[in-house]
Amino acid sequence: MLVRSPVPATAVLRLSVDNFRDTAQIVAKRLVTRPAHYPQILWSVWTVAWLLLTIAVLIRFDAEAGMSWGRWPTGFIDLTDFFTVFGLGGWYLIPSALLLVAANLTDWRSLSRRSLMLVYNWTCLAFLVLSAAGLAGLAVNLLKYGIGRARPVYFNNLGDLSLHPFAMDARFASFPSGHATNMGAVFAIVLLLFPQRKYIALVFALWVASTRIFVGAHYPSDTVAGFGLGGAIAVACALVFARLGFIFRRTTTGLPVRKRTFRLLWPSRKPDRSGAAQQPNFGLEATQ
């Protein structure tokens, strides 16, 4: 029986460096050759609308939520405690980072055309999730510690508008909600790449974001603001991907559109009625 000798560490390191260099060169070339023309999206209108919604929720529901904390049924609180953890960024950042590491250690040149297309799509998806969730997490932490809003568990003593800017204390890091920001980013990615699953994703994302209210970690306005922030950052990342030609195609108006070549599973081969097997077109032009 033949026993394969282990691959030398130097060869693995060389492969990783080569893959990273090749990817960086592709990105740099596309940044130069593809002009920074982005679709017309009324960012200012959407921002003002979301701010007004956040203010309306703050006025109408925040004080009521603060007074209601601790009065929910025990069984319901246990349910929200279970689901609220899915708003943590680690659920999305860690798998994406591991997938990128695995892709960087893969010899792309040895893959078949079909395997190459799948690895390419998975790699782009992982980098999109990592970029969107990572940037959203950075933005929300800068905001929440800069604003320093007291959490609902301190409502009886401090009220719902107690601000402690740059206190750098988790007790004063209510606005916006980090969990809701993550869910907004996740929903936006699903909306863009898997639109047929958008309603399921929306229900799940809103539910996980709302659990932060019931566990006493955030006010309703915190979750509304966070959800919008995460969604906006994810869309911005997708627009950059579209400019670079990665899994999205550019449009003149509206959101970026997923390329037809984007798929994460092996495409099914449909038998040719003439008796010859059809050769599927995997559209490797997406990787050009």
Residue 13's pLDDT band (cuts 50, 70, 90): confident
pLDDT, tens only, 19-74: 888 888 888 888 888 887 888 888 999 999 999 999 999 999 999 999 988 888 99
pTM for the complete prediction?
0.87
Select the more confidently predicted residue: 101 or 277: 101
pLDDT, tens only, 185-220: 999 999 999 999 999 999 999 999 999 999 999 999
Domain range list for the chain: 40-264
| Amino acid at position 254, single letter | G
| pLDDT number for residue 143 | 97
